[in-house]
Amino acid sequence: MNWITNFVRPTINSLFSRREVPENLWTKCPECGTMLFHRELADNLNVCTNCDHHLAFSPRKRFEALFDNGVFTEIKVPEPIADPLHFKDQKRYPDRLKAAQKATGEKEAMLVAEGEMNRTPIVAAAQDFAFMGGSMSMYVGNAIIAGAERAVKLKRPFVIFTAAGGARMQEGILALMQMPRTTIAVEMLKEARLPYIVVLTHPTTGGVTASYAMLGDVHLAEPNALIGFAGARVIEQTIREKLPEGFQRSEYLLDHGMIDRVTHRKALKDELTRIIRMMMGLPPAVKADLPAPDKVPAAETEPKSGNPEKSGKKDG
């Protein structure tokens, strides 16, 4: 009997519970419908391996891909007042926040960090569309200011990845006030003569497009990202005209001079490094890793370093 309760039953149970897992292991590409295995998708930076469609990418995963060896330090963001308007629709605002925090595992809609990208020190911020539509809240404003202040202090460029549906309704005018606040944060960078680079990702709309997302020294965009202020339907109804194909998409905006470049997600890191190093007057990045000291054959090191014993004694 013990054998049945201790071994057979758990095995049967585990067989049945395993049924739920495959749903999370596969993601369907919204563009071409291909089922993508989670590991393959993650290795490809959340870009569809079949049609190159750029799926959503969380700030944390983005930073892991952006910074050398995935190492970065988060920058602390000052806490704003919680729910100042006591806003309530179908749900209370604090409950919505809690649900978003639980779903994303993040505190708020923006992550700020410092680290090195191809050995180029930068400060970066990324907006999380999965967190209440990436909406611009007081916290997001504080995050941008904290990032800009840190960049000025360390004399580093500031790179921001935007993704937003606009201002956070639940914070009303206080969310809208983040437009002038973040504009001043960008001004601080310009006064310090530090590059401010914006990478527009799908979708960047509303008040975010009307403030810090369009104030960069250089604007890059991921392919086929929706970027605009008002929605296409609203514009169509207002001007009573059919909008052209590809309207408000990265490639269209590039053709019309709104942005500087459309860059594939996999090429972003190198592209950003190149632009930043040029703007900062730095030599091109060293791409290849130098061989580790113990791996260099003895014959190669001896003639160059002269007398290794002597230098060894000096260090000691």
Our CB check for Zn ion shows the closer of 47 and 185 to be 47
Least Cβ distance, residue 243 to Zn ion (angstroms):
25
Min separation Cβ 50 and Zn ion, Å = 5
Question: 112 with 198: CB under 8 angstroms?
Answer: no
- Report, in Å, the least distance between residue 14 CB and Zn ion: 33
- Annotated binding-site residues for Zn(2+) read 29, 32, 48, 51
Structure tokens at 193: 């003569």
Q: How far is the CB of 233 from Zn ion (least distance, A)?
A: 25
Of 36 and 163, the one with the shorter C-beta distance to Zn ion is 36
Min. distance of Cβ 55 from Zn ion in angstroms? 8
The binding site comprises 29, 32, 48, 51
CA–CA distance, 198 with 253 (Å, rounded to integer): 14
DSSP string, 225-262: -BB-SS-HHHHHHHHTSPPPTTTTBHHHHHHTTS-SEE
Instruction: Tell me whether residue 29 or residue 113 sits nearer to Zn ion (CB atom).
Output: 29
Choose between 53 and 168: whose C-beta lies nearer to Zn ion. Answer: 53
Residue 269 dihedral angles phi and psi, to the nearest 5°: -60, -50
| Interface residue list for Zn ion (CB under 5 A) | 29, 31-32, 34, 48, 50-51, 53
In the complex with Zn ion, which residue's Cβ is closer, 43 or 74?
Answer: 43
Closer residue to Zn ion in complex, CB, 29/275: 29
**Smallest separation, CB 223 to Zn ion (Å):** 12
